Protein backbone atom coordinates (compact mmCIF):
# COMPACT_ATOMS: atom_id res chain seq x y z
CA UNK A 1 0.00 0.00 0.00
CA UNK A 2 2.77 2.42 0.86
CA UNK A 3 4.60 1.75 -2.40
CA UNK A 4 1.37 2.50 -4.26
CA UNK A 5 0.91 5.71 -2.27
CA UNK A 6 4.48 6.69 -3.15
CA UNK A 7 3.76 6.16 -6.86
CA UNK A 8 0.50 8.10 -6.70
CA UNK A 9 2.04 11.02 -4.83
CA UNK A 10 5.23 11.33 -6.84
CA UNK A 11 4.04 10.19 -10.27
CA UNK A 12 6.88 7.66 -10.40
CA UNK A 13 6.33 4.20 -11.86
CA UNK A 14 7.90 2.58 -8.80
CA UNK A 15 7.84 3.72 -5.24
CA UNK A 16 8.11 2.70 -1.64
CA UNK A 17 6.98 3.97 1.72
CA UNK A 18 9.93 6.37 1.90
CA UNK A 19 9.04 8.04 -1.40
CA UNK A 20 5.57 8.80 -0.02
CA UNK A 21 7.00 10.04 3.29
CA UNK A 22 9.67 12.13 1.57
CA UNK A 23 7.07 13.68 -0.73
CA UNK A 24 4.73 14.65 2.11
CA UNK A 25 7.65 15.93 4.21
CA UNK A 26 8.89 18.13 1.35
CA UNK A 27 5.36 19.37 0.66
CA UNK A 28 4.92 20.34 4.32
CA UNK A 29 8.22 22.22 4.15
CA UNK A 30 7.31 23.97 0.87
CA UNK A 31 3.92 25.03 2.26
CA UNK A 32 5.44 26.04 5.62
CA UNK A 33 3.19 23.63 7.50
CA UNK A 34 4.68 23.15 10.97
CA UNK A 35 5.33 19.71 12.36
CA UNK A 36 2.73 18.61 14.87
CA UNK A 37 5.51 18.52 17.46
CA UNK A 38 6.03 22.27 16.92
CA UNK A 39 2.47 23.13 17.90
CA UNK A 40 2.45 24.69 21.39
CA UNK A 41 0.14 22.14 23.04
CA UNK A 42 2.03 19.19 21.56
CA UNK A 43 5.46 20.69 22.29
CA UNK A 44 4.42 21.17 25.91
CA UNK A 45 3.20 17.57 26.16
CA UNK A 46 6.52 16.33 24.73
CA UNK A 47 8.78 18.17 27.19
CA UNK A 48 11.29 15.78 28.76
CA UNK A 49 9.76 16.08 32.23
CA UNK A 50 6.34 15.04 30.89
CA UNK A 51 7.46 12.08 28.74
CA UNK A 52 7.29 9.41 31.49
CA UNK A 53 3.68 10.36 32.28
CA UNK A 54 2.81 10.35 28.58
CA UNK A 55 4.46 6.95 28.12
CA UNK A 56 2.32 5.50 30.92
CA UNK A 57 -0.77 6.52 28.96
CA UNK A 58 0.48 5.03 25.67
CA UNK A 59 -0.33 1.42 26.49
CA UNK A 60 -3.82 1.53 24.95
CA UNK A 61 -5.23 0.13 21.76
CA UNK A 62 -2.66 1.65 19.39
CA UNK A 63 0.09 -0.54 20.84
CA UNK A 64 -1.92 -3.77 20.93
CA UNK A 65 -0.65 -4.80 17.49
CA UNK A 66 3.04 -4.53 18.40
CA UNK A 67 4.94 -7.83 18.28
CA UNK A 68 6.12 -7.21 21.84
CA UNK A 69 5.11 -4.92 24.65
CA UNK A 70 7.22 -1.79 25.14
CA UNK A 71 8.30 -0.65 28.57
CA UNK A 72 7.63 2.90 29.67
CA UNK A 73 11.34 3.72 29.21
CA UNK A 74 11.29 2.33 25.66
CA UNK A 75 8.23 4.46 24.93
CA UNK A 76 10.01 7.53 26.32
CA UNK A 77 12.88 6.78 23.91
CA UNK A 78 10.47 6.50 20.98
CA UNK A 79 8.63 9.71 21.93
CA UNK A 80 11.89 11.63 22.35
CA UNK A 81 13.21 10.36 19.00
CA UNK A 82 9.94 11.28 17.28
CA UNK A 83 10.07 14.75 18.79
CA UNK A 84 13.73 15.40 17.98
CA UNK A 85 14.13 13.79 14.55
CA UNK A 86 14.85 16.24 11.74
CA UNK A 87 13.04 13.90 9.33
CA UNK A 88 11.26 10.56 9.86
CA UNK A 89 14.00 8.86 7.83
CA UNK A 90 16.52 9.92 10.48
CA UNK A 91 14.53 8.79 13.50
CA UNK A 92 17.19 7.11 15.62
CA UNK A 93 16.30 5.03 18.60
Of residues 90 and 24, more confidently modeled: 24
* Separation of alpha carbons 72 and 58, rounded Å: 8
pLDDT, tens digit, for every residue of 53-67?
999 988 877 787 888
Residue 31 predicted with pLDDT over 80: yes
The whole-number pLDDT of residue 21 equals 83
Q: Which of 18-22, 51-55, 82-86 has the lowest mean pLDDT?
A: 18-22
Angle at 77 between CA 68 and CA 69, to 5 degrees: 15
Average confidence (pLDDT) over 36-46: 91
% of the chain surpassing 70 pLDDT? 98
Amino acid sequence: RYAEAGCLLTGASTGDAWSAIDYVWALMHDLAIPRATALPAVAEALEDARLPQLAERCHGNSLQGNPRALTDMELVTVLRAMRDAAHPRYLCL
